[in-house]
Amino acid sequence: MTDVKTRIDETVKASDVVLFMKGTKEMPQCGFSSRVAAVLNYIGVDYTDVNVLADEDIRSGIKEYSDWPTIPQLYVKGEFVGGCDIITEMALSSELDTLFEDNGISFNKEAADKIREANA
């Protein structure tokens, strides 16, 4: 597990925003991963996607690494943010905007506002 934990830790710290997901940002392989990737893609966040389906060690290791039982998992500046429900709630409440702004992560504020308008 140490090797997997090291690999995950290096991945999380190598990019400002990392999404561990089933599938890829271009082709998510589950609805929850699709929802989080859609939010990030729509608001123009530059992020690294890690397909847990391509590596069973990462798939099981990420759950232990974060002490979070589900995938997808979003990390910003090396910190675990949450899974699908949390990211969805944060997008709708503007907390995701604040998180990105506070961490110097570029995103399209107008697109983020459109998500909230569409779900009001």
Does residue 84 have a known ligand-binding role? no
What percentage of residues in the chain have a pLDDT greater than 70?
98
Q: How many domains does the chain have?
A: 1
1 pLDDT higher than 70: no
Mean pLDDT for all residues in the chain: 96
For 13, the domain range is 2-118
Band of residue 120 on the pLDDT scale cut at 50, 70, 90: confident
Rounded to whole angstroms, the Cα distance separating 11 from 49 reads: 10
CATH code (residue 8):
3.40.30.10
pLDDT of residue 88: 96
